[in-house]
């Protein structure tokens, strides 16, 4: 027998021997294996439960914080709808805020004796108030330095009047710079519509425009309406300035007053231009 055949016989014998041993072991310990499997299962059961519990709670936490895919989609749609509603409310609020202004302007333009030109405000200085601002009318629209800027205001149910805003200080081809009456540099001669007493407004404070009455024994009272007097030729006569809200007699017997303008200088967007050279421009 050659060497190769001898090796094959040895390998076959060893293989059969190993198989016999394994069959014997399997037969003897057939009840032990399930027991071992059960033991291993019992040992790892708490860990398996912990992993399962953690996994479940993690999913629940994720759903609680972020919602399901359907919930996240619906939430995104609701946010978009909410944003649209906010924008619509802002538009409606703006329309409501402008409604009174537009009504006053319309009624004034029907009754005014002046040829008033509407102009839109395009820019203003960085302030909460429209103290200095720019309008979209200029030389091309016959606007000149010194022209007066007004708006319409209702005094009674049937009376609408030009309320003073300021005057044009600088003009370009298609724009003009305006300084309002609430500027600290503004001086306005006035007359009391009730008593015809005269005075001047020379500045402003947190309560309104400040000034004084020429007559020491003045009968001026809170609630009196002040109009421009036309003195000095800066503003025409009988433009509405505002109402007296405070009166005080100083130690020097000077009657100091505070006037509240009825023009909202925090939300102007359109004004009216009054030509200072117009024939009906009354002044002393």
Of 80 and 60, more confident: 80
Cβ distance 244 to 220 under 8 Å? yes
What pLDDT shows up at residue 88? 54
CB 175 within 8 A of CB 122: yes
Query: Which residue is it, tokens 């300021």?
Result: 166
Task: Name the more confident of 35 and 18.
Answer: 18
What 8-state DSSP symbol labels residue 211? E
6, pLDDT greater than 90: no
Distances (CA, A) of 128 to 136, 167, 266: 21, 19, 6
Q: How far apart are CA 195 and CA 192, in angstroms?
A: 6
Q: Phi and psi (nearest 5°) for 50?
A: -60, -45
List, for residues 125-149, the tens digit of each pLDDT value: 888 889 999 999 999 999 999 999 9
The alpha carbon of 137 is separated from its chain's Cα centroid by a whole number of angstroms, namely 27
Domains of the chain plus CATH, in order, are 115-274 (2.40.10.340)
Which residues are 163's β-sheet partners?
151, 240
pLDDT value at 105 more than 80:
no
Q: What is the CA radius of gyration of the chain?
A: 45
- Please check the confidence at residue 209 and state whether its pLDDT lies above 80: yes
Position 40 scores a pLDDT of 44
Asked if pLDDT for residue 198 goes beyond 50, the answer is: yes
Reported as a pLDDT band with limits 50, 70 and 90, residue 48 is low
At 244 the pLDDT is 95
The pLDDT of residue 208 is 84
The neighbouring-strand residues paired with 211 are 201, 257
Q: How far apart are CA 66 and CA 253, in angstroms?
A: 73
Over 50: is that where the pLDDT of 36 sits? Answer: no
Contact 200, 220 (CB under 8 A): no
Please indicate whether residue 81 or residue 243 has the higher confidence score (pLDDT): 243
Cα separations (Å) of 107 from 116, 162, 234, 268?
A: 13, 11, 26, 18
Mean pLDDT of 222-245: 92
Task: Find out whether 168 and 178 touch, Cβ atoms under 8 Å.
Answer: yes
């Amino acid at each position: 027998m050659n060497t190769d055949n001898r090796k094959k016989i040895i390998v076959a014998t060893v293989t059969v021997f190993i198989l016999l041993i394994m069959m014997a072991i399997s037969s003897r310990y057939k009840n032990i294996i399930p027991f071992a499997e059960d033991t291993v299962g019992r040992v790892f059961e708490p860990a398996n439960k912990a992993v399962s519990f953690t996994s479940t709670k993690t999913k629940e936490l994720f759903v609680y914080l972020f919602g399901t895919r359907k919930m996240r989609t619906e939430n995104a749609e609701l946010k978009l709808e909410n944003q649209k509603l906010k924008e619509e409310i802002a538009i409606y609020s703006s329309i409501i805020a402008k409604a009174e202004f537009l009504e006053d302007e319309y009624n004034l333009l029907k009754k005014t004796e002046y040829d008033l030109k509407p102009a839109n405000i395009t820019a203003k200085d960085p302030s909460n108030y429209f103290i200095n601002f720019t309008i979209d009318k200029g030389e091309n629209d016959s606007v000149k330095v010194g022209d007066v800027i007004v708006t319409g205001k209702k005094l009674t149910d049937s009376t609408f009047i030009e309320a003073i805003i300021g005057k044009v200080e600088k003009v370009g081809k298609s724009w003009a710079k305006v300084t309002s009456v609430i500027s600290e540099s503004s001086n306005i001669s006035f007359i009391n519509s009730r008593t015809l007493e005269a005075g001047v407004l020379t500045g402003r404070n947190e309560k309104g425009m400040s000034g004084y009455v020429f007559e020491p024994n003045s009968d001026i009272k809170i609630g009196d309406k002040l109009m421009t007097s036309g003195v000095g030729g800066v503003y025409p006569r009988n433009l509405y300035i505002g109402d007296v809200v405070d009166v005080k007699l100083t130690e020097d017997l000077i009657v100091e007053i505070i006037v509240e303008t009825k023009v909202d200088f925090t939300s102007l967007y359109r004004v009216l231009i009054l030509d200072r050279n117009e024939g009906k421009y009354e002044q002393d």
